[in-house]
C-alpha cells in the first residue's frame, strides 16, 4: 500500500505541475458565438465597464464571466454569452463554458431549455421553480445559471441603458440539502458505533443503505465523488454548501473509520450489496487472483489522475457508474458499464467496489491501519482472512470487539 500511495502521489504532483506549466486553457471564441446568436448584427470591439460589445441597432452583448466572475455552480462558474436589447430584454444566450457534470446538466445546455430565458426582462425575478424552470438533480447548477444571467444582465443594463432593477438575489431552493445529508451522515455514524458493539444491529445498517439510495442517490444526487477531489486539486470550488459538507465529511470519516463512506453512504455500493443478496450462484475466486484484480482500481485511478491533472479536465476521470445510474443519463458505453457492474455483482458481490471504483481506490489509499477486522464468510466485500485495511468497508460484521465475537 505504501508503494501505491507513493506512485499515485508522485503522479498527481507531476501531472498537476505539468498541467499548470504547459497546459493553456483554450480561449473562447466570443466572436463566433456572437455571430451564432445575432447573425444580422455587427458588434463593436469589447469596451466599457462592465466589458461589452455594442451593435449599431443598440443591442449589447457580453460574457457573463466578465461581469460576475464570482457566481459559481456545483463545480465552478457557468460562463454565458448574452445579448440584450435596449429595453433590457434577453434576445439570445448560450453557455460557452462550465465545469458541471454533464450527466446532470445535459438538458441545461439545450436550446429548448435556454430558450426559456429569451424575452425575459432584467426586471424579472429569475427564481428557480417560479419564473425559471428547475431541473431535477441539477438544482445547484440551475440556480447558478439563473443568478449568472440575472446579475450580469442587470449590471450591463444599468450601465448601458440606465435600467435599474430592485436589489436582491434569487431565493436558493437547494439550501436544505446539506442539512438532509448531514442528518443521514450522523445516523450512519451512530449506526457504525452501534454495530461495533453488537452484530445484532446490522439491520440498522441495512436501513441506512436503503436511505443512502433514496436520499443521497435519487433525491440529492450527491454521493462522494472522485470528481470532487479532482475539482479540489484544480482549485475549482463550488458555491454549494452540500458540496463542501459531502467532501469534508467524507475526508474526515476516512481518518476515523477508513472506507466508512463506501460501506455506509455510497448509493451504488448499497445497490450492489443489496442486489448481491439475491440467491444466485456466486463464483469462487481464488485468493491470489482476487488480490491481483483488486489492484486494477488503483491502476485506473492513476491513469485518471494523470489525464485529469495534465489536461485540467475533470470529465476525463468520469467513469463512476453512480453518475450514470443516478443522473438517469449516459451514452451506450456508460450504461453498458453500469449493466456490467450490476450483472457481475450477482456473481461477485460488490464487483465494482472490489475491482474498479475510483472512490474505493482513493479512500483505500487514505485508510489507516486498524485492528479488529479479520474478515468473515459474511463479508460483503468477499475479503480474505486478515485483509488489507484498504479493502475493508467497515460494515463491522467481523469486528472482534463485538460481544458475539468475543
pLDDT of residue 138: 74
**Residue in 21, 141, 135 with CA at minimum distance from that of residue 74:** 141
pTM tops 0.75, yes or no: yes
Strand spans (E) along 162-233:
none
User: Could you state, in chain order, the average pLDDT of each consecutive group of 10 residues for the chain (406 residues)?
Assistant: 88 90 75 90 90 92 91 85 94 90 85 91 87 77 90 93 77 74 96 90 94 94 91 87 93 94 96 93 92 96 95 90 89 93 94 96 93 91 92 92 52
Rounded Cα distance between 144 and 396, Å, is 41
Rounded Cα distance between 264 and 356, Å, is 18
pLDDT of residue 348: 95
Q: Are 322 and 220 in contact (CB under 8 A)?
A: no
Rounded Cα distance between 4 and 12, Å, is 12
**Edge-to-edge strands, sheet with 79-84:** 53-54, 60-63, 79-84, 90-97
pLDDT of residue 221: 87
pLDDT of residue 406: 44
pLDDT of residue 21: 83
φ/ψ of 253, rounded to 5, equals: -65, -30
Instruction: Please give the helix or strand (H or E) that residue 84 lies within, else none.
Output: strand 79-84
Q: Are 38 and 138 in contact (CB under 8 A)?
A: no
Grid-cell match 482549485, residue found:
235
Q: How does DSSP classify residue 371?
A: S
Cβ count within 10 A of residue 35 = 14
Burial 164-197 (b: 16+ CB within 10 A, else e): ebeeeebebbbeebbebbeebbebbbebbeebbe
Exposed/middle/buried for residue 97 (C-beta within 10 Å: 0-12, 13-18, 19+): middle
Amino acid at each position: 500500500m505504501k508503494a501505491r500511495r507513493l506512485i499515485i502521489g508522485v503522479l498527481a504532483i507531476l501531472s498537476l505541475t505539468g498541467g499548470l506549466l504547459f497546459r493553456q486553457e483554450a480561449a473562447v471564441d466570443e466572436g463566433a458565438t456572437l455571430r451564432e446568436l445575432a447573425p444580422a448584427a455587427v458588434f463593436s470591439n469589447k469596451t466599457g465597464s462592465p466589458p461589452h460589445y455594442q451593435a449599431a441597432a443598440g443591442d449589447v452583448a457580453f460574457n457573463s464571466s466578465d461581469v460576475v466572475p464570482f457566481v459559481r455552480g456545483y463545480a465552478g462558474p457557468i460562463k454565458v454569452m448574452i445579448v440584450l436589447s435596449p429595453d433590457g430584454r434577453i434576445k439570445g444566450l448560450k453557455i460557452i463554458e462550465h465545469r458541471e457534470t454533464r450527466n446532470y446538466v445535459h438538458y441545461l445546455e439545450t436550446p429548448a431549455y435556454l430558450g426559456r430565458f429569451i424575452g425575459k426582462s432584467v426586471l424579472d425575478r429569475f427564481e428557480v421553480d417560479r419564473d425559471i424552470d428547475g431541473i431535477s438533480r441539477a438544482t445547484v447548477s440551475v440556480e447558478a445559471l439563473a443568478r449568472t444571467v440575472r446579475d450580469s444582465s442587470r449590471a450591463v443594463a444599468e450601465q448601458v441603458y440606465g435600467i435599474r432593477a430592485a436589489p436582491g438575489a434569487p431565493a436558493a431552493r437547494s439550501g436544505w440539502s446539506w442539512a438532509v445529508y448531514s442528518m443521514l451522515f450522523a445516523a450512519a455514524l451512530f449506526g457504525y458505533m452501534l454495530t461495533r458493539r453488537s452484530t445484532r444491529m446490522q439491520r440498522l445498517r441495512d436501513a441506512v443503505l436503503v436511505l443512502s439510495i433514496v436520499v443521497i442517490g435519487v433525491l440529492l444526487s450527491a454521493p462522494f465523488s472522485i470528481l470532487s477531489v479532482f475539482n479540489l486539486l484544480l482549485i475549482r470550488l463550488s458555491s454549494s454548501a452540500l458540496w463542501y459538507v459531502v467532501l469534508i465529511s467524507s475526508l474526515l470519516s476516512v481518518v476515523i473509520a477508513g472506507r466508512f463512506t463506501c460501506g455506509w453512504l455510497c448509493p451504488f455500493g448499497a445497490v450492489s450489496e443489496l442486489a448481491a443478496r439475491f440467491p444466485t450462484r456466486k463464483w469462487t475466486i481464488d485468493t491470489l487472483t482476487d488480490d491481483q484484480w483488486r489492484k486494477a482500481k488503483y491502476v485506473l485511478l492513476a491513469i485518471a489522475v494523470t489525464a485529469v491533472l495534465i489536461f485540467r479536465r475533470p470529465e476525463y476521470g468520469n467513469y463512476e457508474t453512480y453518475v450514470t445510474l443516478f443522473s438517469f443519463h449516459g451514452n451506450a458505453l456508460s450504461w453498458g458499464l453500469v449493466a456490467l457492474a450490476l450483472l457481475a455483482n450477482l456473481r461477485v458481490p460488490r464487483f465494482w467496489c472490489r475491482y474498479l471504483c475510483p472512490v474505493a481506490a482513493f479512500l483505500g489509499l487514505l485508510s489507516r491501519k486498524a485492528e479488529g477486522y479479520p474478515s468473515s464468510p459474511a463479508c460483503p466485500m468477499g475479503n480474505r482472512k486478515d485483509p488489507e485495511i484498504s479493502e475493508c468497508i467497515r460494515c463491522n460484521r467481523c469486528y472482534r470487539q463485538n460481544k458475539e465475537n468475543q
